[in-house]
Amino acid sequence: MPEPYLASYGSSPYEKISPDCHETVWHLVAAVRDCLARAGLTPSDVDGLALASFSYPPGNVITLAEMLSLRLRWCEEGQTGGAAGVQLVGHAADQVRLGRARCALVVCGDAFRPGDHARLLENFAPAMRDHIGPHGFGGANGLLAMLQTRHAHLHGTRRDQLARLCVTQREHALLNPNALFDRPLTVEQVLDARPIAEPFHLFDCVMPCSGAEAVLVVSEDVSRALARPPVRLRAMREIHNSAPDELSSLDPGWRTVGDELWAETGYGPGDVDLAELYDDYPIAVGLQLEGYGFCREGGCGPFLESTDVSIRGSLPINTGGGQLSVGQSGAGGGLIHVTEAVQQLQGEAGARQVADARVGLVSGYGYISYGKGMCVAAAVLERGDA
């Protein structure tokens, strides 16, 4: 079967939410332009397209194809929120393996104007809207904060342990020209910031913004013709509503997905050179570190306290600053971890390049509904000459 390669990546110029920021389709097209230009391709070369966006409807994957005059043999729209980016990249790779697409774009992103984001959260999933919304739940902040409360209760996890991740990701963001946060952050600033949904304070919460990400998945023959550093997508696994009706569970499926990824690829947590983990909140990253086996169950606090997770460290995490320090471009926040991983594995990350990066784990998590995030998708990426 033709082996799939991740050949290129791109981003739109991120913008803070304001009345006059660009609209969604502008960001989606800007990310496509950046991604195709890097590969030396034009829209006529593309035969597959996948899209995830909360703010683009009634536009959809077909209207985006129309906008770009794409002739498609495969298209798909992702509906799993923060898991959609990784999931769609995996599906694009499957289509390439099957020979149904040779050059597939995955595009995820959103644009928000003031008030749009709260309105989105209030009308998101039906069960959340109808049965949680009337409580004044505080959006994703309130729901996900409950995970941290429970983790702290069970395992003694402290805010200052998790804050170290925010500080390191900010250091990475200072080396990323597309990041919206451009000042250093200290643990004290994280701890002393105003409370939003306790135990979350301001810098524990991702900032919604406008932007888009794109990744190009191609067949082996196309990859050879492009002269891009080859990056293999070794395996992707997804799981949704892993523990139906369990609201206080701290594992939405990471352990299942991780075990399968390690078994399929022959790698383990100790082989990973960079981990790009969905970071709407630092506790989400902590739980993924546990679920994928980087530390023991319940041990993410001590792990983050004692491990250098910077680009120079033993396990570089969210090397571009992640959503927490770049900004969360809606559904783009589920693909930014892939664009960063591809950039690193292609050796093009410049000042924030992880030395000799060979194997990367990317992980998405999302779609909150009745009391929990429901969707998980993760993938192992590998430099082509590994």
Residues within the interface to other proteins (CB under 8 A): 118, 122, 127, 131-132, 134-139, 141-143, 145-150, 153, 194-200, 244-248, 370-371
- Give min distance, CB of 53 to other proteins, in A: 23
Of 58 and 134, which has the nearer Cβ to other proteins?
Answer: 134
Pairing relationship of beta strands 274-277 and 359-368 according to DSSP bridges: parallel
Of 200 and 292, which has the nearer Cβ to other proteins?
Answer: 200
Q: At what angle do helices 336-345 and 84-98 cross, to 10 degrees?
A: 60
Of 118 and 227, which has the nearer Cβ to other proteins?
Answer: 118
Residue 145, token pair as written in the block: 């904060």
Instruction: Measure CA 289 to chain center.
Output: 15
- Give min distance, CB of 133 to other proteins, in A: 9
* Closest C-alpha among 27, 80, 14 to residue 378: 80
Of 303 and 370, which has the nearer Cβ to other proteins?
Answer: 370
Of 145 and 295, which has the nearer Cβ to other proteins?
Answer: 145
Q: Quickly tell me which residue has 């992980």 as its tokens.
A: 363
How far is residue 218 from each of residues 4, 52, 134, 380, 382, measured CA to CA in Å?
Answer: 6, 19, 46, 16, 15
> Alpha-carbon distance 90 to 265, whole Å?
14
> Alpha-carbon distance 282 to 384, whole Å?
31
- Give min distance, CB of 287 to other proteins, in A: 13
Q: Residue 114, class by beta-carbon neighbours within 10 Å (0-12 exposed, 13-18 middle, 19+ buried)?
A: exposed
> Alpha-carbon distance 84 to 62, whole Å?
17
> Cα dihedral sign for 322, 172, 106, 28?
positive
- Give min distance, CB of 160 to other proteins, in A: 19
How far is residue 81 from each of residues 187, 268, 352, 367, measured CA to CA in Å?
Answer: 29, 27, 28, 5
Of 58 and 244, which has the nearer Cβ to other proteins?
Answer: 244
> Alpha-carbon distance 174 to 182, whole Å?
6
- Give min distance, CB of 323 to other proteins, in A: 19
- Give min distance, CB of 161 to other proteins, in A: 18
How many CA atoms does the CB half-sphere of 383 hold within 13 Å? Answer: 19
Of 10 and 139, which has the nearer Cβ to other proteins?
Answer: 139
- Give min distance, CB of 193 to other proteins, in A: 11
- Give min distance, CB of 243 to other proteins, in A: 11
- Give min distance, CB of 148 to other proteins, in A: 8
- Which helix H or strand E contains 106, and what residues bound it? strand 103-110
Of 149 and 256, which has the nearer Cβ to other proteins?
Answer: 149
Of 127 and 225, which has the nearer Cβ to other proteins?
Answer: 127
Contact present, 272 and 295 (Cβ < 8 Å): no
